[in-house]
Structure 1
Amino acid sequence: MSQQRVVVWATGGIGAIAIRAIQHRPDLELVGVWVHSEDKVGTDAGVLAGGDPIGVAATNDADALIALRPDCVIYAASGPERDAGHIPDYVKLLSAGLNVVTTSTTRLVNPHNYEPAEWRDQLAAAAKQGQVTLYASGIEPGFAADYLPLVLSTQSSQIETIHCYEMGLYDDYGVPDIMSDALGFGRPLEYEPWISFPGAIAGEWQGQLRLVAEALGVEIEEVRETFDRAITERTLDVAMGRVEAGTCGALRMQAIGVVDGREAIIIEHVTRLAHDVAPDWPRGIGDLSYRVNITGVPDIDCTLAATLRDPAGAGIGGMTSGAGAMVATAMRVLNAVPYVMAAEPGLVSSVELPLTIPKGAFAAS
């Protein structure tokens, strides 16, 4: 089996999982790792990923990594700048002739509807210059509410509605500026978080809605939003800190695609800090699961739960509810590397790639 030479960009949760997974894959070779923190430079990547040394030292020198001429960069950086920080990195890597798979820019799961258009055009031009490909994925966005419903629809004779859910605990997500400021957890209901602003929910999920609609040959005329919150009746101590009783302990939000005047494609997230908050809202299996409900001929109802027996063994520390989903997120792009390399240059979505079957996964066992 031929090997693809890869670089992992950043060693946070997703990057650490990718580093550890590559060591057990006969089709991939890790040749470099990028880090943001100066104090991590020179540290062995295996150690940064929570394991044993593997003989690859981390660097913050992007040009040095480009000079290695890897086949693909597995990009997993995070940070407060989000796309504003990621887009210049993508442009640099693509222009240099390196394929990029990323979990960092979730709205690029449908690159053809990515906004702002100026950034999309920069990415397309860079991919054309380098004659390489950019692909974004994850478990949600990237699979559970976009690709999975399309796979399930191959059983359909007629489709009336598609309703996709993420239902889970975020009690172990310890990023206060996102959890408190952007989402409003732990705040009184009078507080208006960023996600409640008109257009915020649609902006995050309309690309997925349009991906599903376009693949099925229909047009979304409008994207509607719903947003609701529920308080916790008791004080909760979670990863983001203490959440007092009487403040927000759960969110429920929907992005709704209108087709032919009716609400036809829905992506819904129900997010709690404890199982007993908002007991009347939809709930899934365990701490985190995904559900796709297609009404039509036939009716189809599928629930997906990604669980992990040994989070520490996969390089995940201090996380319980989302550990399996983190591995699934990383593998969505890692397993796509050979398929992205074989794709036509440009920006691609999951529906433009073949099924990204991991041909080295059984060997990894």
Structure 2
Amino acid sequence: MRSESEVFAESAAMMADAIGAKLDRVTFDVTFTAATADTDLGFMKIPAGTVGSVYGYHRGWQGDRNVVSVGFNWTMGNHVVPPKPLEHGHVIQVFGLPNMRTVLHCLPPKDWTEPGFMGLGMIYTAMPVTNAVPAVVAAKPGIVTLADLPPVTGRVAR
């Protein structure tokens, strides 16, 4: 599971770099829960008792201090109790004085007909990459990260 979610470890390292934190190590912890009933997703079947959800974190450390964390809470189907309640979006937390917490919810438009949010999730997963194309094309040659690019934003549909 760690290798399948390694992109989140890269995100943690990039965030650490952006705030000037030099990491000693990045760790990974994960919790799985089982499907409570058989589920047919159309493209795959999940038998009861097999993995139905996964909750994991890639954590960047300086000594014994966790300075950046990137986590995920994924479920497959409706017959599962996730390790932590789903937020259906992105939770951003900053621990300090004061502590800050923001939840960015991904909500469908009023005319959304697909049951669940899977298609919507695919769209918002692709948005940063597709919206970054103009900035990447205009960037100097070599390897660049989001920290090297101007803010990546969407545009109003025409």
Same fold (TM over 0.5): yes
Q: Deviations over 1:18-71 (max 9, x none)?
A: xxxxxxxxxxxxxxxxxxxxxxxxxxxxxxxxxxxxxxxxxxxxxxxxxxxxxx
More strand by share: 2
Deviations 1:59-88 (A, max 9, x none): xxxxxxxxxxxxxxxxxxxxxxxxxxxxxx
| Paired residue type of 1:234 | A
Query: What is the CA–CA distance in structure 2 between the aligned matches of 1:224 and 1:249, rounded to whole Å?
Result: 23
CA drift of 1:212 comes to: 0.6
Structure 1 partner of 2:76: 273
More relative contact order, 1 or 2 (CA 8 Å, 6+ apart) = 1
In the TM superposition, 1:1-365 aligns within 5 A as 195=1, 200=3, 203-275=6-78, 277-279=80-82, 281-284=84-87, 288-309=88-109, 310=111, 320-358=116-154, 361-362=155-156, 364-365=157-158
**1:280–1:269 CA distance, 2 compared to 1 (3 A):** closer
Query: Which has the higher Rg, Structure 1 or Structure 2?
Result: 1
Q: Could you give the per-residue CA deviations for residues 258-292 of structure 1, whole angstroms, max 9, x where no partner exists? A: 123222222221111245623552321xxx32111
Matched residue of 1:334: which SS? helix
Q: Which amino acid aligns with 1:244?
A: P
Cα separation, 2, equivalents of 1:307 and 1:323: 11
Corresponding residue number in structure 2 for 1:56: none
Identity %: 23
Q: How far off its partner does 1:347 sit? A: 1.6
- The normalised TM-score by structure 2 is 0.81
Distance 1:234 1:330, change over 3 A: closer
| Shift, 1:218, TM fit | 0.9
Name the SS of the counterpart of 1:210 in structure 2. helix
Task: Give secondary structure in 2 for the equivalent of 1:335.
Answer: helix
Are 1:201 and 1:255, in contact at CA under 8 Å, matched by a contact in 2? no
Q: Which runs of 5+ in 1 are unaligned?
A: 1-194, 313-317
Q: Relative to structure 1, is the Cα distance of residues 319 and 351 closer, same or farther in structure 2, using a 3 angstrom cutoff? A: farther
1:218-270 per-position Cα deviation (integer Å, ceiling 9, x unaligned)? 11111111122111222222234332222221112221111232222222211
Which one has the bigger helix percentage? Answer: 1
